[in-house]
Structure 1
Amino acid sequence: MIKQPCLNEHEVLLEQFIPDHVFLYVTKGTIYGYDGSRTYTLQEGDYCVVRKNRLARYNSEKGAAFHRIFFCFDETFIRGFQEKYQLKAGSLKTPGNLKTNDTFIKIRDNDMVPAFIHSLLPYTDATGRLLPAFEDVKYEELMILLLHVQPELADLFFDYAPPQKINLEEFMQRNYKFNVNITRFAYLTGRSLSAFKRDFKAIFHQSPNQWLIQRRLQEAYVLIEQGNKKASEIYIELGFEDLSHFSLAFKKLFGIRPTELAKKG
């Protein structure tokens, strides 16, 4: 977890497990987020809270630069903040509890959050990170602003429960493209690793690793044959880290290399 906010990096972001709630502000360009169910678009000046314990992929258009600022609110900070200000979920005056289950939660338009972002510059070093002396106070200031603008976020921030047991088949069919380890999949479905493997075998009649590779390759076949995609365009988004490994696994399953299938199309 990166504790300090980053003010001006623009490297390509691929995918990750989100272990802590993250505040994200786009200062340049456009970011597209994907959580296995839907795509979110964040343009310059947009900001949101990315929900913890989710899988997400976010990136810009190919080759397009983008800048963003993000704050990672870990549980230690939130618990300390909650105790300091004697707050709890549902204690703030709200028009209703947080009803969205979105991974990227848009914050209502207001003048205070952009003003806060603009105020950060004098408190940063040459790399764009907050100076240590101001880090705690700026984190608290942002949390206060978010709860003032959108009080129902208290239901999100002050909920420390781990993921509950959910439908494993539905979850895996939605998230098989994400390149995370089996332990992470188990945690997100509310299971121990042993229970996850047992339930997985009962549903899919394969081990998780076997099923993941086969499911990803099946999707790749469709994208190449029917979508005219190149292997180099899709292997990362399908959970493979290496193009040559993807090509070898593809040939092993289908008896043909991705490039040969593309030529047939």
Structure 2
Amino acid sequence: MMEDKSHILLNNLLYSCVDKKQRSNESFVPEHAFGYMISGETHQKTNEGTRVFGAGTIALARRNQLVRSEKVPEPGGEFKAINIFIDQQFLRRYSAEHKLAPAKPYTGDHIHILQPDPFIKGYFDSLKPYFDHPERATDNMAELKTKEAVELLLNFNPDFYDFLFDFSEPYKIDLEAYMNQNYMFNVPATQFAKLTGRSLASFKRDFEKVFRMAPGQWLQQKRLNEAYYLIREKGQKPSEVYLEVGFENLSHFSYTFKKAFGIVPSRV
């Protein structure tokens, strides 16, 4: 169990409750996530833009995604949400237990917004007491609740079968196009390698062939150039820009920016 003032994680069940805007630290989503927005909004940015999900939204998000999210409380209130993570290990056990046929390669949307459904809403309501009484959230109970989630999803939409049970890993894709679309996500090279269908060694080798420099050097240069453009041409503040382009903190961004351009970002 992991618990702090804003998040409670019980096995694979996560309850979030914040009263101020909060950005996620994690940009890589490794497992399927099935979630319900109780109050407030979540703003999710991918390479295709930003989508806003409000209170009452029930969504299913596919694994192996790069996404940057922000939790936004309702005016004068709180942001609250419940997520259950459905990992590959569990799904393989479920598939073997039920003797499921192999799924087809999934090629659909990475995020599905589900229409209101009383059974699914009731399911998420049934999870709430466990966050008030975490001692009742045993491993066996989490397993049962995860099975219930899968059964509900398959009953709601049989097309989710391929979404859930396609165990294939990302195939080798166009490295140049992918990196130019996703450079702003601050994840390790190992994640970029996986998402482009390569081993780490192959990723680094292919990267240097395409960009004529190492991944870390290219990413820093690309992010700094984008930051310069946003500050100079779009009038954005350094404090608004550094996270958007993939830096972790403002002081490191300012130091690196000055080293590259000879001027601190606030003076551009």
Q: Same fold (TM over 0.5)?
A: yes
TM-aligned CA distance change 1:128 to 1:67, over 3 Å:
farther
Q: How many correspondences in the alignment? A: 254
5 Å-filtered alignment, 1:102-181, equals: 102=110, 104-122=111-129, 124-126=130-132, 131-132=137-138, 133-181=140-188
The code of the aligned residue for 1:31 comes to T
Q: Which moved more, 1:3-12 or 1:223-232?
A: 3-12
SS in 2 for 1:160: coil
Given that 2:106 and 2:166 are in contact with CA atoms closer than 8 Å, whether structure 1 keeps it comes out as no
CA separation in 1, counterparts of 2:185 and 2:135? 29
Given that 1:7 and 1:128 are in contact with CA atoms closer than 8 Å, whether structure 2 keeps it comes out as no
Query: Is 1:83 equivalent to 2:84 in the alignment?
Result: no
Give the deviation of 1:252 after TM superposition. 1.5
Give the deviation of 1:129 after TM superposition. 8.3
Query: Is 1:215 equivalent to 2:222 in the alignment?
Result: yes
Given that 1:217 and 1:250 are in contact with CA atoms closer than 8 Å, whether structure 2 keeps it comes out as yes
TM-aligned CA distance change 1:127 to 1:237, over 3 Å:
farther
Which of residues 5, 15, 23 is equivalent to 2:13? Answer: 5
TM-aligned CA distance change 1:194 to 1:4, over 3 Å:
closer
Normalising by structure 2, we get a TM-score of: 0.86
CA separation in 2, counterparts of 1:234 and 1:128? 39
Given that 1:8 and 1:128 are in contact with CA atoms closer than 8 Å, whether structure 2 keeps it comes out as no
Query: Is 1:39 equivalent to 2:50 in the alignment?
Result: yes
Give the deviation of 1:110 after TM superposition. 2.1
Given that 2:13 and 2:84 are in contact with CA atoms closer than 8 Å, whether structure 1 keeps it comes out as yes
CA separation in 1, counterparts of 2:136 and 2:44? 25
Where does structure 1 lack aligned partners over 5 or more consecutive residues?
92-96
Query: Is 1:52 equivalent to 2:60 in the alignment?
Result: no
Q: Which residue of 1 aligns with 2:258?
A: 251
The code of the aligned residue for 1:233 comes to E
Give the deviation of 1:131 after TM superposition. 1.2
Query: Is 1:199 equivalent to 2:243 in the alignment?
Result: no
CA separation in 2, counterparts of 1:169 and 1:51? 23
Give the deviation of 1:251 after TM superposition. 1.2
Given that 1:88 and 1:154 are in contact with CA atoms closer than 8 Å, whether structure 2 keeps it comes out as no
The code of the aligned residue for 2:12 comes to Q
TM-aligned CA distance change 1:62 to 1:47, over 3 Å:
closer
TM-aligned CA distance change 1:54 to 1:34, over 3 Å:
same
Normalising by structure 1, we get a TM-score of: 0.87
Q: Which residue of 2 aligns with 1:23?
A: 34
The code of the aligned residue for 1:257 comes to V
Where does structure 2 lack aligned partners over 5 or more consecutive residues?
3-8
% identical aligned pairs: 35
Given that 2:227 and 2:245 are in contact with CA atoms closer than 8 Å, whether structure 1 keeps it comes out as yes
CA separation in 2, counterparts of 1:174 and 1:109? 33
Given that 1:107 and 1:150 are in contact with CA atoms closer than 8 Å, whether structure 2 keeps it comes out as no
Given that 1:98 and 1:152 are in contact with CA atoms closer than 8 Å, whether structure 2 keeps it comes out as no
Q: Which residue of 1 aligns with 2:5?
A: none
CA separation in 1, counterparts of 2:73 and 2:265? 22
SS in 1 for 2:17: coil
SS in 2 for 1:145: helix
Give the deviation of 1:87 after TM superposition. 2.5
Give deviations 1:140-179, integer Å, cap 9, x for gaps: 1111001111111110111111110001011101110011
TM-aligned CA distance change 1:83 to 1:125, over 3 Å:
same
The code of the aligned residue for 2:184 comes to K
Q: Please give the root-mean-square deviation of Cα atoms over the aligned residues, in Å.
A: 2.4
